[in-house]
Amino acid sequence: MRREQGAGSREQKTDSLLPPPSPLLKKLIDYYKKTTFDYSVAWHDRDNPAIHFGYYDEQARFHKQALLRLNEVLADLAGITSGCRVLDAGCGLGASALWLAKTRQAQVTGISPVPEQIRSARISALEQGLESLVRFEQADYHQTPFPDRSFHVVWACESLCHSPAKHLFYQEAFRLLRPGGVLVIAEYMRTGRPLSERQEFLLADWLSGWVIPDIDTAEEHQSHAENAGFSGMAIRDITAHTWVSHRNLYTHARRWWWLGCLLHAAGIRSATQHGNHRGAFRQFEALKEKAWIYGLGRAEKPYFTNNRTFAP
């Protein structure tokens, strides 16, 4: 009798669950491989290798607190409690997945197409003694290997931006969720399409540096969710809470821009690293020009849709 490997299994596969990568996916994998050092120096807290922006409020006034606070806000929005099966779609180095396991006792599966990220996340899970609650796999969130209705929550924190076909992500998330399950996203969202020439320039210069093909409007996200079968896709603009985080990244990037240019010209820093650095201040310039917002989205998979009733 074959034993299914759940999110809480101690077993960890070592083989990739990815089909042969597309040129864009290869570029994305290369990007995260080459920018690991930059993120570790400029952004990571020593105990929290989060890549996402921070959420500032009365409970979080410093960078370390703000990184964790965004996890808390998103987890509360999703209603994650003990025993919830969660897919972290685009888990990065596993910071949010490990936080969910440690603080909410959720059973989390984290996926990323980047093998270096998966290896690092697995090591962190072992070091923190969380391997019974968390597993990490190299996989593509457009087409995962998991059965239908595998999860209570699909979580995507600043990862959906990398998708060139965001509607496919929503379709896959719908398939993976149990009826009544919740999709939550934290994402960069353009304020219109098209924008002014200046706004589009700033967006393109930022996004290309971070290997993001494009970002969608809130209305486009809502349309993707509705077409996939979700109900009640609500998006909240939380830019006021993330503004400090965007500004801090901008300030840090500008301070070292001259040195980065010199190192790039000398061949010490790659074009990928240089583009990542440029994107770090372009994102804030585009934000100040009102080209985009930072949004939180939540949608549910209904029990009844298209004349079909789903069992819990």
The pLDDT of residue 167: 98
Half-sphere exposure of 95 (CA within 13 A, CB side): 24
The pLDDT of residue 5: 38
The reported pTM is 0.91
The pLDDT of residue 10: 36
* Domain residue spans of the chain: 23-194+212-242+290-304
Q: Which residues of the chain have pLDDT under 50?
A: 1-14, 309-310
Closest CA to 238 of 185, 303, 280: 185
The pLDDT of residue 19: 67
The domain defined by 23-194+212-242+290-304 folds into Rossmann fold (3.40.50)
Closest CA to 85 of 161, 170, 147, 139: 147
List residues bridging with 93 in a β-sheet: none
Give the model confidence (pLDDT) of 70-83 as tens digits: 999 999 999 999 99
Q: What is the DSSP letter of 209?
A: H
Residue 12 sits at the vertex; the CA angle it makes with 182 and 186, to the nearest 5 degrees, is 30
